[in-house]
Each structure stands twice: as structure tokens, then as C-alpha cells.
Amino acid sequence: MLVFPMIFLAGVFYSVDSMPVWMQVLFKINPATHGVDAFRHVSLGSGPAGAGLGVSVLGHTMSLLEEVPLVGVLEIAFLSAAAWRSGRQE
């Protein structure tokens, strides 16, 4: 129930830049957006190794070398929060 909307908000099927500004905020805080962009970069092989494909945050275009660690940090944060939440007894 959570992954399906995240895929739609990751820009898999359409460009992030074509969305309204309020939706672009949702795109950029979604960790799947950065994972999809990194996957596209590796698959399409566009530009030098550090160049990204277009996810920009505050006017800065994220490179592959920035997106991969960002996805890792978000993964650790969300897994830690899930483990903490599931460890609590109600």
C-alpha cells in the first residue's frame, strides 16, 4: 500500500519538472525519486560518472555520486525508525 504511491511520486512514468511546484516537493523528499534517478543514470549512461539526470534540489542538480549515498542514508534512517517502532510493545 505504500510502495505503489511512492513509485508514482518517484518520476518513473513522467518527468518531475512537468509537475506543479507543490508536487515537486513531494517528489524530492521521496527516497525512491533519487533511487530511480540513479538507476536511470547507470542504465542510460548519460554524461560523466558524476553527472545526474535532472533531479534538482534548491537549484542544485544531484549527481550520481550524491544520490547513491543519499539513498543509503535515507534507507538507514527509515529502517532504524521501523525497527524502533516495531520494537515498542503496545
pLDDT at 64: 72
pLDDT for 4-62, tens place per residue? 777 777 777 777 777 788 887 778 778 788 777 777 777 776 555 444 456 666 667 77
pLDDT at 55: 67
Cβ contact 65:50 at 8 Å: yes
Of 37, 43, 39, 44, the closest CA to residue 62 belongs to 37
Q: Is 39 exposed, middle or buried (0-12, 13-18, 19+ CB in 10 A)?
A: middle
Mean pLDDT of 71-77: 86
pLDDT at 50: 45
Question: What's the first-to-final CA gap in the chain, in angstroms?
Answer: 23
Reply yes or no on whether the pLDDT at 85 is more than 70. yes
The most distant pair of C-alpha atoms in the chain lies apart, rounded to whole Å, by 51
pLDDT at 5: 76
- Output the CA–CA distances (angstroms, integers) from residue 7 to 10, 32, 57, 58, 61, in the order listed: 5, 7, 19, 22, 21
Mean pLDDT of 66-88: 84
